[in-house]
């Protein structure tokens, strides 16, 4: 993958992640405070908590992806982009096309996920 194309794609991803996270946070995502002083039915409270948990998970996943994208941009800068951070082999072009933020080759990524 051309480094300039990778950089542009990663920067675009970062912009989209920032915009999505900002929108969710501005809409009060993850908050579970009641809007009125009247007691709600327990099922309403459970739904509200489940929604808040789901929104928090989305925000956390976006933050984790943001970290990965920034790390990929740093690898472009230091010249190590496209090299697996675990084994040192070249990451396939196809993988980088699909996951430009990938730090590991498919084999090492599979091992890391199995160990987690």
58 occurs within a structural domain? yes
List the domain range (segments joined by +) for residue 61.
Answer: 3-25+43-115
32 occurs within a structural domain? no
Of 54-63, 69-78, 105-114, which gets the smallest average pLDDT? 54-63
- What are the b/e assignments for 78-103, b being 16+ CB within 10 Å? eeebbbbeeeeeebeeebbeeebbbb
37 occurs within a structural domain? no
Model confidence at 4, in pLDDT bands (50, 70, 90)?
very high
**Total domains present in the chain:** 1
Task: Give the per-residue pLDDT at 77.
Answer: 97
Here the CATH number for the domain that contains residue 98 is 1.20.120.910
**Cβ neighbours for 12, distance < 8 A, ≥ 6 positions apart:** none
106 occurs within a structural domain? yes
Task: Give the per-residue pLDDT at 80.
Answer: 97
pLDDT mean over 63-73? 96
Of 23-32, 44-53, 64-73, which gets the smallest average pLDDT? 23-32
pTM for the full predicted model = 0.76
């Amino acid at each position: 993958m051309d480094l300039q194309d990778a950089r542009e794609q990663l920067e675009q991803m970062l912009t989209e992640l920032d915009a999505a996270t900002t929108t969710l946070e501005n809409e009060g995502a993850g908050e579970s405070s009641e809007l009125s002083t009247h007691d709600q039915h327990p099922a309403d409270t459970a739904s509200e908590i489940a929604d808040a948990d789901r929104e928090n998970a989305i925000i956390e996943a976006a933050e984790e992806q943001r970290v990965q994208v920034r790390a990929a941009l740093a690898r472009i800068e230091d010249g190590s982009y496209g090299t697996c951070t675990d084994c040192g082999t070249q990451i396939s072009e196809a993988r980088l096309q699909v996951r430009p933020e990938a730090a590991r080759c498919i084999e090492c990524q599979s091992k890391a996920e199995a160990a987690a």
